Structure 1
Amino acid sequence: MFLETRCFSNDVVHSSDMKRSIDTAEAVLDGLGQDNEEVHEMKGLREAGSGQFEGESLDTIDEKQAKEAGYDSYDEYEDDKRKTDEDEWSWLANAHYYADQSGYAEGADKVQERMTDAIEKIAAKQNEEGGGNVLVVSHGMSINVMLADMTDKYEGDSLENASVTKIHYQNGDMEVESIGDTSYLEEGEE
């Protein structure tokens, strides 16, 4: 009940179509006693595509990206390619994109566009159906990259798994109300 009273009660649930986010959505619903609720899967909520680097650890990716892009070290690669005003998460998405030879990695602009489009579609549909709360489950890099573009409230800190970010949608506008709230986890332990 801590999640429901602290964060939300949902009217509809959307998730990336990737298994780990569907599992998370189902675990939240189970915790809310709403395990019979349907989870609507959307490709637009997927994790940022890393192309040929999919499934690798970030440390391994860093070194492989640098070498693939023709640099001796990741630091040299980042110093040369990273824009001065680029947040960490957008840089990571762009680093994958710059170094990927497969053509499947997504740059930050593509991730931001895809995620924002998915959120806007969800919000508009819910608005057409009379409004209400929506639970949206996605992935860390994609959420971080989207927030970096969406609001000045985002400071670039990595969001914890299972954190809650509230976005209010009204009349076609989205406003980020809170970012990365995990207080319900602490309250649930008490």
Structure 2
Amino acid sequence: MNKFFIVRHGQTEWNIQGKTQGHGNSSLTEKGKEETKKLAIKLSKYNIDYIYSSDLGRTMETSNIISSVLQKEVIYDKNLREINFGKWEGLTIDEIKNQYSDIYKIWRNEPHNALIPDAENLISLKERLLKCINSLNKKHRNSNILLVSHGMSIKVLLLSLLGSDLSNLYRIKQDNTALNIVEFRDYGPVIIKINDTSHLEGE
């Protein structure tokens, strides 16, 4: 039985500015780095065997901080990237509402049906994430596997593992450095934790 520890990257400059990130890059803030260190200490009690990370800048920063604490090499996998938001990348929500009001309404109400210009859709995102998980389950046995990824990607992955429709995208929350734990048992995936940020308590 493999157990996956799925975490979102630390806070970034664009998170603070409210900009849509996607494949665009934004560095971790000092707060993001400190919170990632707290997450790494929490993860150290789980005996992580492997670290896989998205190859985008903010997840590379996050996984490198965790790697230095856990003393495990990071393996980068582009299938763990955030959704490509196309023309929306670098824009704030207000800018998106003003420039793409019709598409934004669909994105908020029927996200699985939204066709953002030059962007990836949720179905494609789901397919590449499940491809990654299936590959890792074939490659490893009885391992604790850390995945460092992104908010939208993690929500889509969790919905997919639950067999839930992608229309439920906004029913799951993912904070920066949130921890999710999924066990793959004989009868399928079981979600043990969602959006655990207890390592940040007291801030």
* TM-score, length-scaled by structure 2: 0.67
Which of 77, 80, 97 aligns to 1:42? It is: 77
Contact 2:44–2:70 (8 Å) recurs in 1 = no
TM-aligned CA deviation for residue 154 of structure 1: 8.4
Give 1:3's aligned residue: 43
Give 2:156's aligned residue: 145
Gaps of 5+ in 1: none
Which of 64, 75, 88 aligns to 1:53? It is: 88
TM-aligned CA deviation for residue 45 of structure 1: 0.4
Distance between the aligned counterparts of 1:83 and 1:64, measured in 2?
A: 15
Output one character per residue of 1:2-42: Cα deviation in whole Å (capped at 9) or x when no partner.
4323xx22000000011111111121233xx334x211100
SS for the counterpart of 1:117 is helix
Distance 1:118 1:62, change over 3 A: farther
Question: Which has the higher Rg, Structure 1 or Structure 2?
Answer: 1
Output one character per residue of 1:21-76: Cα deviation in whole Å (capped at 9) or x when no partner.
1111121233xx334x211100100000111222222332233222xxxx4xx7xx
Which of 143, 147, 153 aligns to 1:136? It is: 147
Give the ranges of 4+ consecutive aligned residues of structure 1 lying more than 4 Å apart after TM superposition. 152-155
**Overall identity of the aligned pairs, in %:** 30
Distance between the aligned counterparts of 1:113 and 1:144, measured in 2?
A: 13
Distance between the aligned counterparts of 2:182 and 2:129, measured in 1?
A: 13
Give 1:119's aligned residue: 133
TM-aligned CA deviation for residue 83 of structure 1: 9.2
Output one character per residue of 1:94-115: Cα deviation in whole Å (capped at 9) or x when no partner.
53xx130x3xx11111111111
Give 1:108's aligned residue: 122
Which of 25, 32, 53 aligns to 1:15? It is: 53
Q: In structure 1, what residue type is equivalent to 2:190?
A: E
SS for the counterpart of 2:76 is strand
Which sits farther off after the overlay, 160-169 or 176-185?
A: 176-185
TM-aligned CA deviation for residue 171 of structure 1: 4.2
CA RMSD, 1 decimal = 2.8
Give 2:178's aligned residue: 163
Q: Which has the higher contact order (CA 8 A, sep 6+)?
A: 2
Q: In structure 2, what residue type is equivalent to 1:143?
A: I
Distance between the aligned counterparts of 1:178 and 1:48, measured in 2?
A: 23
Distance between the aligned counterparts of 2:170 and 2:99, measured in 1?
A: 28
